[in-house]
Amino acid sequence: MAEVVLNGVGKVYADGTRAVESLDLAVAHGEFLVLVGPSGCGKTTALRMVAGLEDVSEGTISIGDRVVNQVPSRDRDVAMVFQSYALYPHLNVRDNIGFGLRLRKLPKAEIRRRVDEAARTLGLEEHLARKPRQLSGGQRQRVAMGRAIVREPQAFLMDEPLSNLDAKLRVQMRAQIARLTRELGVTTLYVTHDQVEAMTLGDRVAVMRKGVLQQVAPPQELYDHPVNLFVAGFIGSPAMNLLTGRLEQAEDGGLTVHLGGQHLAVPAELLDRRPALRAYADRQVIVGIRPEDLYDAADESGEPPAGTLLRADADLVESMGSEVHVHVRLDVPPAVTDDVRELAEDAGAADQVPDPGTAQTEVVARFGPRTR
């Protein structure tokens, strides 16, 4: 087990594509770090450079206490798990798991011991004699994990290992990977474009965009305190609502934000955390509100209490069973920035980017989980 450190790492492909820009990232001893970002942001390239499958154009990569830039992949002592499990179809499960150990010419008894142990950990004991084609997707994925575990590497490198599984299996395997890596305490660098995977698996999550690291932080901090609009919009589902407003100094010394004809007080703790916000008084700002931070303030008589925050009528109500999404329209122009456009394009929803010239913004509120 070892620390993995990237220091000013850059990658320029032969055709001139700059895939990774000056990346500084340290995966601590035994830490599970997730690299997440939209398609093409350079996360796979970063991982492949750590694995030694891609040359480093700038900077250094260290594993443990040695710089590995010039060390061939097979001598880096890292184990990769890919999206395609890359199992040998003609070998049974036992031989697939033990393949790397046979290459390293370990004694037969030692190979058997390690394979048996991995099979036990992964619940594959009954399948050791089967060929990959006789296994389900989830079982194949576990064989690929087994092959990584038996090598007892300094670090695991995983590239979208769950993306070929159906939704239910993905959730199961996600939990299994979390348990397994915690048990083994092995340093792990994990690449995904799925923010839920990133948030649930990572001790810390690093968000990349266009080859540039945006923020690296524990999941909750990333969610509560994104450093920019891109991170704010990328993490969270339904996505954070982004509205154009105007900040104004309130009589009590606080700040209010004007959204159309309505006012919203800027919470004191936000001002304490970001005192620089005061400099934006009398200026246009983008207001981000998480869907779960909006709630129905009406009391049982249907009347909103004094000091109502925002008034809006429900436009559409979607019930997910345990929670309800309520869409409302506010009379403020939508915030349309390059970040918003890029995030929508990545989600395949470029046509849903609102027209910045419109006077209304659709806002989503999330109620629940349901209390009984």
Positions in the binding site for ligand ATP (CB under 6 A): 13, 15, 17, 19, 37, 39-45, 193
Distance separating alpha carbons of residues 149 and 158, to the nearest angstrom: 12
Q: Characterize the bridge pairing of strands 314-319 and 255-259.
A: unpaired
- Ramachandran assignment for 110, one of left (phi > 0), alpha (psi -120 to 50 degrees), beta (any other): alpha
Distance separating alpha carbons of residues 298 and 306, to the nearest angstrom: 10
Nearest to ligand ATP of 48, 147 (CB atom): 48
Nearest to ligand ATP of 44, 154 (CB atom): 44
Nearest to ligand ATP of 17, 60 (CB atom): 17
Smallest distance from ligand ATP to CB 230, Å: 14
**Structure tokens given for 118:** 């991995």
Nearest to ligand ATP of 17, 84 (CB atom): 17
Residues 222, 207: contact at Cβ < 8 Å? Answer: yes
Smallest distance from ligand ATP to CB 18, Å: 8
Smallest distance from ligand ATP to CB 186, Å: 22
Give me the residue whose beta carbon is nearest to ligand ATP: 44
Smallest distance from ligand ATP to CB 149, Å: 24
Smallest distance from ligand ATP to CB 175, Å: 23
CA distance readout (Å), 148 to 32, 82, 116, 330, 367: 15, 10, 14, 52, 42
Q: In the block, which residue shows the tokens 């509560």? A: 224
Smallest distance from ligand ATP to CB 58, Å: 15
Distance separating alpha carbons of residues 308 and 257, to the nearest angstrom: 14
For the chain, helix, strand, coil in percent to 5 are 35, 30, 40
Nearest to ligand ATP of 19, 216 (CB atom): 19
Nearest to ligand ATP of 19, 285 (CB atom): 19
